[in-house]
Amino acid sequence: MTEIQVGSWREEANAASVQLAISKLKTNPELAIDQLTSLAESGSVKSMLYLADALARGSVVKIDFRRARFWYKKIGERGIIFSDHMAGSMSVKLQELEQARVDFWRCASAGFLPSIYRKGYMLSVGYGGNKDLAEARDFWKTAANRGHYGAGLYYAQLLRKGKFGIENVIPGIYLSFRWRIRFFVAIIASRGRLVSHWDDRYIL
């Protein structure tokens, strides 16, 4: 499991100021958000990221998905695919599903694994547009072949439920079992650390 990193401290002109603002998120979140906003407006990518994450998670300040999406989009303008994907996640939270499709589709086309999984899910239920189980299956299979637990489980579920023929039920049962085993092995390997196969911050 690899955590996705955004930006480099070496590229931060005001790295010390950014780190100081970040350190205040728990002790003085309102001041931290003001300082991060100012730094983000000056072009600090790390500030954009911490600001967007804080607004998206709501752990230290009130959740604001729209502002979070704005800053994720700003990072995305730097060519960082992960951030465009997170903008899509914010659009889902805002129930702006057509916009979410635009973001996930673009990132999936660039080969970003969580977006491929999300694209499959949106196609499977028809969020923001057409419903197409065959396409959903193909995208989940692609993501599963690259090791995505959620995609593997959903792909196996489609087969297990006979969505693509009775002949695929047994293979679907086998795949469901295999993916569950892989997931629990990953939890054990992480020594009790929670491993979420739907967490957008991780490529699995």
What confidence tens digit (pLDDT) does each residue in 72-88 have? 999 989 888 888 899 99
CA distances to 58, 104, 162 from 170, in Å:
43, 32, 9
Q: Residue 198's pLDDT band (boundaries 50, 70, 90)? A: very low
Q: How confident is the model at residue 192 (pLDDT cuts 50, 70, 90)?
A: low
Instruction: Compute the distance between CA of residue 146 and CA of residue 138 in angstroms, rounded to an integer.
Output: 13
**More confident: 192 or 153:** 153
pTM: 0.83
* 97 phi, psi to nearest 5 deg: -75, -30
**Calpha distance 58→169 (Å, rounded):** 42
CA distance 112 to 91: 18
